[in-house]
Amino acid sequence: MPARTGSTRRGLVNAALLAGVLTGCSEAPSDDAKASASASASASASASAAASADAKPAVAVSGGSIGAVGSACELPVTFDIAEGWKAEAVDAEAAMEKAGDSGSGIGGELADALLHQGPVTAACEVDAKPAGHIGYLRVWTGDPGEDDARAVLEAFVAAEDGASRARYHTFRTGGLAGAEVEYLHTSELLDETKRERALAVTTSGGPVVLHLGGMDTEEHEAMLPAYELAKRTLRAG
């Protein structure tokens, strides 16, 4: 488990605030309607995952790379980001200090939950909004250790509340051996299920996890070409 060194996650905090606004302003559906919608979303996400398992993934046009010294996010790896997407480094340590200075224990707990997941800490956020999508490709990093990529990824998913039906497999890219997972995430707050995926590699600088979420499964799938671009161009830094 790495020492927690950190970053400010404006996108994550905004997402949490947005979730509160949505639940506070929307009309509450009936219990039967909510159960039906949740079951339908889960079935749809599962079917989508199964249908796309054998499909050859599309790859987005590159808009540049990140990870190297002097780039928007300096990481233990480098990879290309899709054209129009915008990368921003996450300073978790500064964010945690700011949350602590606020004097609110709840604020500190929220920041910790947003900035750390399992053995890794948020390091970079690549925003799809400039390219017309609602979601992020997020990069998480950790301290060097003995865990392989699969163990790191399993710990990452296990730390996410609402994750289920995880399917793991291995891959190789740019001389790196990695693990990848596709899973469903159910939000109790928003009462919906959506598809997500992530990959992990280990480097001399520590483990790296790339995670693709999205507002919903439709947005997630629309952003897959950007994820595939990152995966195919991933190299040790």
Q: For the residues of 19-30, what is the DSSP string, one character each? A: HHHHHHHSPPPP
pLDDT in tens, 100-124: 766 555 677 888 888 999 999 999 9
pLDDT in tens, 181-216: 999 999 888 789 999 999 999 999 999 999 999 999
List the structure tokens of 8. Answer: 């400010």
Q: What is the mean pLDDT of residues 161-181?
A: 96
Do 196 and 185 touch, CB atoms closer than 8 A? yes
Q: What is the pLDDT of residue 229?
A: 98
Instruction: Classify the C-alpha dihedral 149-150-155-161 as positive or negative.
Output: positive
The residue type of 115 is L
Whether pLDDT at 52 is above 90: no
Strands 192-203 and 206-212: antiparallel
Q: What is the pLDDT of residue 22?
A: 26
The residue type of 183 is Y
Q: Report the alpha-carbon distance of residue 93 to residue 80 in Å, rounded.
A: 26
Backbone angles phi, psi at 102, to 5 degrees: -70, -15
Q: What is the pLDDT of residue 122?
A: 98
Q: Report the alpha-carbon distance of residue 159 to residue 155 in Å, rounded.
A: 6
Do 123 and 92 touch, CB atoms closer than 8 A? yes
Q: What is the pLDDT of residue 103?
A: 55
pLDDT in tens, 63-99: 999 999 999 999 999 999 999 999 999 999 998 888 8
Q: What is the pLDDT of residue 44?
A: 46
Picking from 17, 2, 237, 15, the residue whose alpha carbon sits closest to that of residue 140 is: 2
Do 182 and 45 touch, CB atoms closer than 8 A? no
pLDDT in tens, 130-148: 999 999 999 999 999 999 9
Q: What is the pLDDT of residue 219?
A: 97
Q: What is the pLDDT of residue 193?
A: 96
More reliable by pLDDT, 102 or 235? 235
Q: What is the mean pLDDT of residues 159-187?
A: 96
Residue 59 backbone class (left: φ over 0; alpha: ψ -120 to 50; beta: rest) = beta
List the structure tokens of 88. Answer: 């921003």
Task: Compute the mean pLDDT over every residue in the chain, rounded to the nearest whole number.
Answer: 81
Q: Which of 9-18, 43-52, 127-136, 172-181 has the lowest mean pLDDT?
A: 9-18
The whole model's pTM is what?
Answer: 0.76
Q: What is the CA radius of gyration of the chain?
A: 18
- The full set of domains in the chain, from first to last, is 10-236 (3.40.1000.10)
Do 209 and 199 touch, CB atoms closer than 8 A? yes
